[in-house]
Structure 1
Amino acid sequence: MSGGSAFDKIKRAAAGNSEKVGQGVDKLKNFAKRKTGGKYDEKIDKAGDSATGYLTGEQDRKSDQDRDQGGQGGSGDTRG
């Protein structure tokens, strides 16, 4: 497929519309919270935030910054 996979194309479009992506994910999070009666709110928020970061490319930029600054990328392993 020319220009990457369909998912890559979606990610590029989402990166250019991060505000709308965030709004859409927020709506989905609220829907899921209502359907689960608040039982899984923390997990829903975490998953929604991860999805927003992934789709808008913010997660990639954060990983690059962590690498550039010698960050541990969440592994917590300080062995060298």
Structure 2
Amino acid sequence: MSFLDKAKDLLAQNADKVESAIDKAGDMVDEKTEGKFSGVVDKAQDAAKNAIHKDEPTQ
């Protein structure tokens, strides 16, 4: 199993914690930039969250 496969497995097992970290990081960027880039930050957060769930089977 490669490093990348191990990382994907770890992300899948802790998706809720990773999403929380993504939200906190985005909030921090918004705070530091006084919301000037909130649209861009929101898109980046959505893209990161979608990447986490990319390999999950759909139900």
Q: State the TM-score, normalized to the length of structure 1.
A: 0.61
Query: Alpha-carbon deviation of 1:9?
Result: 2.0
Long gaps (5+) in structure 2:
none
What runs of 5+ residues in structure 1 fail to find an aligned partner?
66-80
Equivalent position of 1:50 in the other structure: 47
Distance 1:12 1:40 in 2: 32
- Whichever of the two has the greater Rg, that structure is 1
The corresponding residue for 1:32 is: 29
Identical amino acids, percent of aligned pairs: 33
Find out whether 1:4 has 2:2 as its counterpart. Answer: yes
Aligned-residue RMSD, C-alpha: 1.9
Number of residue pairs matched? Answer: 58
Deviation at 1:20, TM superposition (A): 0.8
More helix by share: 2
Structure 1 runs, 4 residues or longer, greater than 6 Å off: none
The reply on whether 1:59 has 2:57 as its aligned counterpart is no
Q: CA deviation at 1:53?
A: 1.8
Match runs of 1:14-29 below 5 Å? 14-29=11-26
* CA-CA distance at 1:60 after TM superposition: 4.0
